[in-house]
Amino acid sequence: MSDTNTLSLLDDLIAFGDLKVWSVLVTLFGDMASAEGTYIAGPTLTLIAQEIGIKPEALRVALHRLRKDGWLITDKNGRTSRHRLSPSARTETLKAAGHIYAAEVPPAKGWSVVIPDPVTTDIPAEWLPVGPSAFLARDPSDDRGALVGTLSQGAVPAWVAARLVRPEITMRYRALHGLLSGYPVPSDDRSPLARLTLRLLVLHHWRRTALQHPADAAALMGPDWSGALCRKLVHAWLTALPKPDLQTLT
């Protein structure tokens, strides 16, 4: 990819939706510093932010918010600040990792339609509501006395799909797929900083979209769903843009 194309792609990724700085940092730390004991040094973080066009004041405000929310911990190594995920943030990050980084959607097998007893109020959180008194559940061994029927088809009808994943999220998947499809999957011929910047923005837009619906819902949408197609393309980009060693950025 030429330098001109790289800049055009970078501009398009920056313009694709509102880039909230704190949310971009959540993506960055989740991708580059999720292992216990890892951190991102202040100068490195500033360099990455500058590449995306994040102003120093906006970066400071975002860091303050994430520390206040208990997401980040900052300490000092001499005069250099070091930022890392808190234990609870690391737990949440790892919990979502399978949904974010999986190359393919799992097959829609073992799902059931569940209609609980009308007087029941204790509905398991993992059951996916598709109507006032109807749910989809994967292998509901504890059916709470509900009426359970096997879901025999791979993809659910459109009206059910719209309840599992809001139409605007499906449209966002389609838009991100369209953006990335307009450029060739990059080859590894750019600097570590440029590679990380593209990786971060692609991953950020994907993560923000994927986390807008239950992870299990993706299995029920069918292979031609825009989310499934976008997942494959995003994974190809992330493979082509492997994580750089942060020490090589400065």
Q: Which DSSP symbol is given to 190? A: S
Task: Please return the burial class of 32, using the count of CB atoms within 10 Å of its CB with bins 0-12, 13-18 and 19+.
Answer: buried
Pairing relation of β-strands 111-115 and 147-150?
A: antiparallel
* Per-residue tens of pLDDT for the chain, all 250 residues: 445 455 688 999 999 988 999 999 999 999 999 999 999 999 999 999 999 999 999 999 999 999 999 999 999 988 899 999 999 999 999 999 999 999 988 777 778 888 888 877 778 888 888 888 888 888 766 666 788 887 766 668 888 888 889 999 999 999 999 999 999 988 777 889 999 999 999 999 999 999 999 888 888 888 889 999 999 999 999 999 999 988 877 6
Alpha-carbon distances of 199 from 42, 144, 157, 192, rounded to whole Å: 20, 44, 34, 10
* Confidence (pTM): 0.88
- Whole-number Å distance between alpha carbons of 187 and 153: 39
- Whole-number Å distance between alpha carbons of 163 and 131: 8
Q: Which of 232, 231, 249, 201 is nearest to 28 (CA)?
A: 201
Which amino acid type is present at position 41?
Answer: A
